[in-house]
Structure 1
Amino acid sequence: MTAALVAGKTLTLSEVTAWDQTVYWLERRPAEGGRTALMSWSETAGIVEVLPPQTDIGTRVHEYGGGAYAVGAQGIAYSDRKSGAVWLTSHTAAAADAGKDKEAHQIAGEAGLRFADLRFDSMGGGLLAVREDYRHDHAEPQAALVVLNHAALPEPAGQEAAGGVVLASGADFYAAPAVSPDGSLLAWVEWSHPFMPWEATRLCVARLERAASGAIMGLGAPCVLAGAGGQESLLEPRWTEDGRLLVISDRSGQWSVWQAGRGEADAVLTPCAVPQGEIGQPAWVFGQRSYQPLPGGACLFLSVREGESQTVLRRADGTFLPVPGRPEQCPVPLADGRLVWLDAPPDALPRIMAADMAAVPPQERILYHAAPAVLQAQDIASPVSLRFRVGDEQTPSGHAFFYPPTSSTACVPEGERPPLIVQVHGGPTARAQDSFSFKVQWWTSRGFAVLDVNYGGSSGFGRAWRERLRGQWGVVDVTDCIAACAHVVCEGWVDPRRIAIRGSSAGGMTVLVALAESSLFAAGVSLYGVTDLRALAVETHKFESRYLDGLIGPWPESEALYLARSPLQKAVRIRAPVLLFQGQEDRVVPLSQARAMAEALQEAGTPCILREFAGEGHGFRQESTIRTAFVEELAFYGRLFGFEPAESGA
């Protein structure tokens, strides 16, 4: 498992969808500077890169993007990462000249516009999208739901043509537009400051106004079906084929699927029959799919229990059937009824899979691998799901995955216990998952144990667990990580003298505070981590600009608390060596934060290395950056823990 394999040969697959008998997905390629290509598979054509090789698909709406392409009867629409413009090409052009220059025309976009959550109107009336508008002199970009015409933009294009027809505006954020099967209604979710979408959203429905041609021209008066009280997180509205509106809600204490009725006036939500576990995920990106209605009354659900995901098919007769594999998002159907998905198991690299669920047992097929199959099963560490006590509680409520060092060619020297890396996920409203990750396996294959912690605030364990972090960021997350670490130390699984803690983004802040609060850790690594909460409150982008209101307290009324919780103010108490990685183009956590932390640590006499990467933002995309970060972090631990890395990582 070389750094070259991890950084350049392994592709990041995402956003699997299907049209007719063809499967589509996005493929990010570190070896091509992080370019994201649109790929497809069909029985007749095999694996194909759909668009010209210079095309880089992506969107920066909310900075995290998602929903950057759509496939429908009208063709293939996609957002160009660099310009933000939306383009449309036909299935015929894509199939005839796959991977070559083909006839695609721009249907929206100009400087200052971004589009995401692209979805074709099932009646052919246009392309629905969430738009972020930076063109005007506002304190923040303006959000709207829009519909884009399929025709090419005229030259010069006016502002309305470039930006589409506004259907809904006034809220701070929009997501998940969904047209009813008969084309008469549009459902969506919206929310406004100071809430995040996992805190409070509104489910809205309005009647679509169409021209004689079927083109969408506008919306009638919107109706808020649920969420008006600001106490409920509603996500992913979807319609069944018989016109029932479904939505995810956490009104029961955890995300699950509810029915919102058949019409715009029906505001009573009733629970659906679902498998056990939490069904839903924090809306950091657009286009997520936690459930999927199927023809004939069946439905698919992706649920999380004890940190582990499972996908279940509820058949039309109400019985449940497990879906094989480990889908990352809910599967989608091909025209012949087979299901397809991105599979992310604990013991194999991600792959595109298909299954015939009508067969007994279901017949599985791997369509595509994310990387060459160079890893053997005996070299892959298997996660152990564990519970640990938080504070003085009697029943353990904390959760983590523990990975022992695993290698077929090496072992921990006799009489020694392995060093440990405590891994802190970002968000902080995200979760540690047990799917295969090079961020884990790189270390376990080199003799480290890894502990991936689902601290208070993580998703997948219900609203109350998420709410443990309300007003307590920098406290609960830190104490939970320390408690998890102490648990595995007490079990005798690791060497208590050789423990490092690492994390990215929000996890980077937890790392730095943990170093200040505990002597358990001999080293810390922060990747583009938050160091100055006051600066973050005034400098970060719109989507997260009020996130800290819930995590810390209202700004600026709680400014003293922001100061007290910031790692920058705790630098003088950090004695363990620190390694900082930072992209110079980061718009979420600016470069200034890493530089200020490095300076504060150096002034305190704490060993610190700051490694900056040109052209990188919040999350590294380039092969050279990823390779360098892995190799330098390994060398950092080697110097501290007394070993010489066996390879340069080339």
Structure 2
Amino acid sequence: MGGARRLMRAGRNAPPRAQTPPGMSVGGWLHAYGGGSFAIAANAQWVVGEDNKVYRLRPDGGTEPAVAVADDYLYGELHHAGETLLAVRGTDDGDQIVEIAQDGEVRVLVSSTGFLAAPQLHGGTLAYLEWDSDRMPWDSTRLMLIDSLPDQTGPGHLLAGSDREAVVQPLWGPGGQLYFMSDRTGWWNLYRWTGEAVEPVAPMDADCAPAPWEGGYRSYAFTDSGQIVLTVHDGIRTELVAMDRDGLLTRPATNVTSVKPYVATLGDHVFLIGSTPTSRPSVRTVDLGRPGGQPAVSIGSSTNDISVLSTTPPPAIRTARSGRLPIRYLLHQPDRGQPAPLIVRAHPGPTDDVPLRLDWTVQFFVSRGFAVAEVAYRGSTGQGRAFRQSLHGHWGEYDVEDCATVARHLLESGKVLREAVFISGASAGGYTALQAACRQGPFTAATATSAIIDPARWEKAVPRFQRPHAAILAGRAGEVRAEAMHIPVLLIHGTADEIAAAEDARRFSDDLAALGHAHETLFLEGVGHYLSAPAALERALEAELDFYEGLMRREP
């Protein structure tokens, strides 16, 4: 659909080159979204293929199965330590942490009817995460330890985590101390286990990790000179912070505004995937060994900036108030001195954020004269545990209120056209957009892409990883009903969507037609949930643009 995902390798003076064969795409679907899909040793490399099995890469460029391809497990969360390759594998009945031997023999170390993640081995001690089958990993996880592998297997003992604490990203650091992120204070901050006690490393009122939608996230790393580098996220901007042995914080890589949770180090060089509103995401490096701080330099290209965007006003971080609660949003405006039509975007997730980076969908509309407001509504990450959980039991209510608040805030400013205020969202954001269309409010029309329409039915259809999410979020808003629509809607949906069933969108479209309600529908044949293929995305964007322009051509 959208091309192959390949494992790449770049040297200090060598351009990036593929390690996997052209016909192979890397990445499985453990826990619905995959992650931790490769592991590297001095003389070996392993990847998870699209069939969810583990493969060893041969020196001749080929691959060979590292496990029996006939089993029913989905594999991910690969981790290599010493001579040991670990993985998490799962079915609908639960998860296991396993050791994969050179001959393909698989030894089960831990089993759970819930979920397991992030196995990390140091000496004979295994650290890993566990959470119950009715929880999500950003709400409640436990950090467990098994002290004496290979003699001891089975459940470990609890080190951190509870019903009110989410622990993520355990990692063995220098000196054999175990580090991890915890939101025990309300913010995801870095801690370490000294062998006797848990102590904070870099306390701050900020989230230093994202919600773990995928395995293999790493938001911090260690340098040879004793520094710790970590990301700091406020829900919109993510920056890199370096902390020295004395606890002094500096901010290298000030030329990036968005950093993916895949931070790595080599010596005193930090490697990250960074971007800005005018540059594509790219692998970049920062040399912390040089005094005065250095910008992050892209690897493999001389420049990554998009010069055509230099005349567009930079996006602005704004705040509107929903009652007493501040709601932050990212505003993109066209270069025009008069009010513009507005698109309010509800991000998917809804446990997601509004990254300050180059977004080609946003640029598609801004370049055609639209203002775009991306709302970090209640439930978004990067603003602490309480804000992240504030949407629980209120999905389709608080998110709608916050998007409407932003629209009214911009209307009051006089910067947008009153008869051209649209709301758009995909997946969970599509549900928000449709629920907004059910209310009297500031919106002229709504676009819902790959939308969830009935949370109760969706809960039964999604993979087991996400079923608790649907149950926890569900509130009074319930199913979107055609008879409740107040404004025209555009439905865009892939017929091969396995997350939000296309049949729900067809049924809803038929109900709208039966009522004679103004709507348009675009079904994309053979397309999945994410519209990742360029042709599918192009058709969707053109349909959305035509929908808005058609409404604006009508008499008020």
Q: Which band: TM-score by shorter chain?
A: over 0.9
Question: 1:464-613 residue pairs with structure 2 within 5 A?
Answer: 464-552=386-474, 561=476, 564-567=477-480, 569=481, 571-613=482-524
CA distance in 2 between partners of 1:165 and 1:616 (Å): 38
CA distance in 2 between partners of 1:240 and 1:43 (Å): 25
- For 1:207, the aligned partner's letter is D
Instruction: Give the structure 2 partner of residue 313 of structure 1.
Output: 242
Instruction: Give the structure 2 partner of residue 349 of structure 1.
Output: 280
Q: Render the CA deviation track for 1:483-522: whole Å, top value 9, x for unaligned.
A: 1111111111211210111111111100000011133211
Instruction: Tell me the TM-score normalized by structure 2.
Output: 0.93
- Larger relative contact order (CA 8 Å, sep ≥ 6): 1
- For 1:78, the aligned partner's letter is V
CA distance in 2 between partners of 1:616 and 1:482 (Å): 31
Q: SS at 2:117's partner residue?
A: strand
Q: Render the CA deviation track for 1:314-343: whole Å, top value 9, x for unaligned.
A: 122322221213232353112x43111111
Q: SS at 1:482's partner residue?
A: helix
* Aligned residues with identical type, % of pairs: 27
**Residues 191 and 201 in structure 2, CA contact (< 8 A), matched pair in contact too:** yes
CA distance in 2 between partners of 1:305 and 1:76 (Å): 35
Instruction: Give the structure 1 partner of residue 207 of structure 2.
Output: 278
- For 1:310, the aligned partner's letter is E
Pick one of 179, 186, 195 that aligns with 1:253.
Answer: 186
- For 1:142, the aligned partner's letter is G
CA distance in 2 between partners of 1:629 and 1:72 (Å): 43
C-alpha deviation, 1:589, in angstroms: 1.3
Q: Which runs of 5+ in 2 are unaligned?
A: none
Instruction: Give the structure 2 partner of residue 332 of structure 1.
Output: 264
CA distance in 2 between partners of 1:622 and 1:190 (Å): 35
C-alpha deviation, 1:616, in angstroms: 2.6
Pick one of 624, 632, 636 that aligns with 2:543.
Answer: 632
- For 2:479, the aligned partner's letter is S
C-alpha deviation, 1:275, in angstroms: 5.5
Pick one of 120, 145, 163 that aligns with 1:205.
Answer: 145
Question: 1:37-48 residue pairs with structure 2 within 5 A?
Answer: 37-48=6-17
C-alpha deviation, 1:399, in angstroms: 1.1
Instruction: Give the structure 1 partner of residue 298 of structure 2.
Output: 366
- For 2:5, the aligned partner's letter is T
Instruction: Give the structure 2 partner of residue 443 of structure 1.
Output: 365
C-alpha deviation, 1:373, in angstroms: 5.7
Q: Which segment is superposed worse, 196-205 or 370-379?
A: 370-379
Q: SS at 2:436's partner residue?
A: helix
CA distance in 1 between partners of 2:369 and 2:466 (Å): 38
Instruction: Give the structure 2 partner of residue 12 of structure 1.
Output: none
CA distance in 1 between partners of 2:516 and 2:525 (Å): 27
Instruction: Give the structure 1 partner of residue 75 of structure 2.
Output: 115
Q: Which segment is superposed worse, 509-518 or 606-615?
A: 606-615
CA distance in 2 between partners of 1:250 and 1:234 (Å): 7
Moved over 6 A (4+): none
Question: 1:42-441 residue pairs with structure 2 within 5 A?
Answer: 42-81=11-50, 83-90=51-58, 93=59, 102-108=61-67, 109-110=69-70, 112-120=72-80, 122-125=81-84, 127-133=85-91, 140-151=92-103, 153=104, 161=105, 164-180=106-122, 183-210=123-150, 219=153, 221-227=155-161, 229-262=162-195, 266=196, 268-274=197-203, 277-305=206-234, 307-324=236-253, 325-326=255-256, 327-329=259-261, 331-334=263-266, 336-363=267-294, 364-368=296-300, 375-391=307-323, 393=324, 396-406=325-335, 411=336, 416-441=338-363
Q: Which runs of 5+ in 1 are unaligned?
A: 1-29, 134-139, 154-160, 211-216, 554-560, 644-650
Question: 1:4-19 residue pairs with structure 2 within 5 A?
Answer: none
**Residues 352 and 369 in structure 1, CA contact (< 8 A), matched pair in contact too:** no
Q: Which segment is superposed worse, 382-391 or 272-281?
A: 272-281
CA distance in 2 between partners of 1:602 and 1:72 (Å): 58
Instruction: Tell me the TM-score normalized by structure 1.
Output: 0.80
**Residues 129 and 146 in structure 1, CA contact (< 8 A), matched pair in contact too:** yes
**Residues 275 and 303 in structure 1, CA contact (< 8 A), matched pair in contact too:** no
**Residues 239 and 293 in structure 1, CA contact (< 8 A), matched pair in contact too:** no
Q: SS at 1:46's partner residue?
A: coil
Q: Render the CA deviation track for 1:517-549: whole Å, top value 9, x for unaligned.
A: 133211211111110122112222101112123
CA gap of 1:189–1:516, structure 2 versus 1, over 3 A, is same
Instruction: Give the structure 2 partner of residue 213 of structure 1.
Output: none
- For 2:285, the aligned partner's letter is A
How many residues are aligned here? 549
C-alpha deviation, 1:303, in angstroms: 0.9
**Residues 35 and 76 in structure 2, CA contact (< 8 A), matched pair in contact too:** yes
